[in-house]
Structure 1
């Protein structure tokens, strides 16, 4: 699977009676076989407050190198795809439970994650051979 883009952003209210400003959207664009797909992950913005609980990162930006900044919301969809490769066949994922959100971050190898994210931000591509390479294996 070729990862082409990882990005995230805060939703803003389009109408005064909507609740979009309580959510973030994270997207990962990838090529699976010969087909380009994008997984959109919509999650409650409040979950960003658990950055230190879920990851070894202390604050946003979580990575900063060569004028590139990566925020937590930029990696959420990528982490979901790594943790559950079956999401390749879905377009959207909605997460409104802290427990479900946290489950995607369990056992992720955060030491290896920057190599994917920085390669995607710099070169617009990263060959993800096996998602298992980015999940800590119990011994």
Structure 2
């Protein structure tokens, strides 16, 4: 049985909710990623911000990324998956919520991220095709 930890990208890092979007962008550049999980004051996942969020929700609206924090962009309940979850549960979570990146948690700590690229790299073509159909389907 393939588990979340088998297909995740290890070494994911998060930023705290107080970090500015400028700092978030710098971390994204350093790690060569397009999304960062955001932690609250207790070190728990409270959201995810993407490079697109920074552009669309901050820069395009004329806001200063040196003053806007990660917390300002975090919306809704963050989704995550346990490291030992079956890959079918991973796909279901991503499909049902139409998300393209999923933090992987083990013992209440961030241990990795699963992205569309990880799904494509590690799973059979038929499973990837079904996943893509769910994520990108306009009728979903």
Do they fold alike, i.e. is TM over 0.5? Answer: no
Q: Greater share of strand residues, 1 or 2?
A: 1
Normalised to the residue count of structure 2, the TM-score between the two structures is 0.25
Larger Rg: 2
Q: Greater share of helix residues, 1 or 2?
A: 2
